[in-house]
Amino acid sequence: MRVHICAVGRIRKGPERALIDDYLTRFDRTGRALSLGPCIEHEVDERKATEPASQARALERVLAGGALIVALDERGEMRSSREFAQDIAGWRDSGVSDLAFVIGGADGLDPDLRNAAGKLLAFGPMVWPHMLARVMLSEQIYRAATILAGSPYHRD
């Protein structure tokens, strides 16, 4: 199952970019044996799409056809890392070929795109900068693979 991170905003060279690249490289190595991956990033330039409706159209253009959409949204469900790993395994085992995590712009996701999502996921009630949300998502995707592989990376 291919994993996609579709996000508004470009992350330039710096600590956030280094962390994302590291976690996604680790995921690709760990996930391969689990039929997970690769994880592909798709960035939408927020200078060209400035409000949620135009950002949604831009995000829809980068979504893989037929992908299961998981939208990161403050109204979403909070999951433990183990529950998140089980969600990913369940989608993989049910035949989902493309899993797309969608992160909107500073004003959030357009309601139509949010409503099209198969799942809404939240990192808690706090609002996070989009760069950090992408770092946290990348780490959780990697963590999910390590949980499914039985690796000692995750500790309860």
Query: Each residue of 37-86: pLDDT tens digit?
Result: 999 999 998 878 889 999 999 999 999 899 999 999 999 999 999 999 99
Q: Which pLDDT does position 129 carry in this prediction?
A: 86
CATH superfamily of 2-149: SPOUT methyltransferase, trefoil knot domain (3.40.1280.10)
Between these two residues, 107 and 78, which has the higher pLDDT value? 78
Indicate the pTM of the whole model.
0.95
**pLDDT tens per residue, range 122-139:** 999 888 888 899 999 999
Domain boundaries, the chain: 2-149
Q: How far apart are CA 79 and CA 58, in angstroms?
A: 28
Give residue 48's pLDDT: 80
